[in-house]
Amino acid sequence: MHLPKLHGAHVPHRKNTAGMRPERMPTPKMVSIPMSMHIGAPAEPLVKPGDQVKVGQLIAKAGGFVSSPVHASVSGKVKRIDDVLSGMGRFMKAIVIEADPEQETLEGLAPPVVTDYQSFVDAVRESGVVGLGGAGFPTAVKLSVKDLSKVEAVIINGAECEPYVTSDTRTMLDDGDLIFEGIELLKKYMQVKRVVIGIEKNKPQCVAEMQSRAAKTQGVEVMALPALYPQGGEKVLIYNTIGRVVPEGKLPLDAGAIVLNCTTLAAIARYIKTGMPLVEKVVTVDGSAVREPKNVIAPIGTPVSDLFEFCGGFKSEPKKVLYGGPMMGIAMPDLSCPVMKNTNAVLAFDERDATLPEPTACIRCGSCVDACPLNLMPTEIESAYEKRDVERLKKLKANLCMECGCCAYACPAKRMLVQTNKLAKGLLAADAAAKRAEAERKEKEKARKEAAK
């Protein structure tokens, strides 16, 4: 079978903090720990205002199978359970804790007992670990495989292809032991025979570090991949490491793969080794408005404003602040937004870097088509969306768009293509929902007529 050539964008790397070991910031006075730091159902609070909590304590249980538990990142008093504004511009429920000076760890925290595959998955679930590269998918769900023989390869994502972001880089350089302890766990409990670590070539230290360790570990290989964004995209990484294409509407497992972010794997190993659940994150703090860029170890729920203060504040007025990198990052409504489980970076940009150019007319040059890693036609999707042509959008496979931003980055007319793609996907979702509702209405009407006979 002929495999399609994947494309992308040559974005500037700007890995300014790659050589900076993470620094632990002081305990914030207050944390707001959201219940929706993962894909799926929100976690359900187990505490109430006035309760005293300690670091590592379970404060919210998973709200369903596709969900994740939440633990206290500081010790102190629960002040309130309130709605806080997220980076997506929506309000979400959060447990607000006022930190105390003692910062006590919960008594009795101990490594979980892991003896087989099921207890391993249960431990991953209890750890609260989700996709820490930004996706936030509950890791225990990803590892819940009915037939382990289908897992031909586990791919460890060390690509970190977004500009500025270096938190995964520091994991590979500082916590390599944990990554390989995690690999041994996968091999032991999931019967994994092949592990591939994919890293962009612009991180030669990480490639060398992982290759050195892999040479001593059977069944592990390190691939130095071209520095071409979005190399870290799940489907892109699968294709560029093991040569498989994930079928439309299917999961990586359908291509014989499971993809885990390197920091996610390290967090799993840390929990199984120590019993301390996910309560803190290494966050890259950078951007043209930041005085002292750093990698910062921050408790989950820390206000983003505290991170910037720890980095010396701003050297110029920030005009845009992002969760994540400049290609797929989400703009924050204000600096009170909290650090979440899947926050790998917060970037602040001055007016020059934050001001978008005015879009001009499409010149049909095809740059967006050439850049799309999934071989879509963004300019045609834009045209179909403007006409609200749902059937055309389906034929153009608009739902395959990963919203990586390559099309908009490559466009010489600076058109808002990725935003239009997102709106097109929303239009398709609304159409599908309307058709389901109509089918249900007809079914009920039919049942009513049958009952009336």
pLDDT in tens, 104-121: 999 999 999 999 999 999
CA distance 361 to 414: 9
Statement: residue 90 has pLDDT above 80: no
Fill in the amino acid letter for 396.
L
pLDDT of residue 18: 97
pLDDT in tens, 142-151: 999 999 999 9
CA distance 420 to 381: 8
pLDDT of residue 2: 42
Strands 70-71 and 52-53: unpaired
Which residues are registered as beta bridge partners of 55?
Answer: 105
pLDDT in tens, 330-379: 999 889 999 999 999 999 999 999 998 999 999 999 999 999 999 999 99
pLDDT category at 3 given cuts 50, 70, 90 is very low
Total residues belonging to the chain: 453
CA distance 265 to 273: 12
What is the value of pTM for the model shown?
0.93
Statement: residue 409 has pLDDT above 70: yes
The domain segmentation of the chain, as residue ranges, is: 117-274, 367-447
Question: Nearest-5° angle of CA 258, CA 263, CA 265?
Answer: 45
pLDDT of residue 382: 97
pLDDT in tens, 237-276: 999 999 999 988 899 999 999 999 999 999 999 999 999 9
CA 61 to chain centre: 21
Picking from 259, 246, 255, 225, the residue whose alpha carbon sits closest to that of residue 137 is: 259
Q: Is 451 helix (H, G, I), strand (E, B) or coil?
A: helix
Q: Which CATH number fits domain 117-274: 3.30.360.10, 3.50.50.60, 3.30.450.20, 3.40.50.11540?
A: 3.40.50.11540
Fill in the amino acid letter for 257.
A
| Helix or strand run (H / E) with residue 348 | strand 345-349
Q: How would DSSP label each residue in 371-425?
A: H-TT---HHHHHHHHHTT-HHHHHHTTGGG-----HHHHH-TT---HHHHHHHHH
pLDDT of residue 121: 97
| Helix or strand run (H / E) with residue 437 | helix 417-452
Mean pLDDT of 405-422: 96
* Cβ atoms within 10 Å of 241's Cβ, excluding its own: 22
First and final CA of the chain: distance in angstroms?
56
Asked whether the CA dihedral 60, 112, 148, 214 is positive or negative, the reply is positive
Distances (CA, A) of 11 to 154, 202, 208: 27, 12, 23
Fill in the amino acid letter for 203.
K
Largest CA distance in the chain: 77
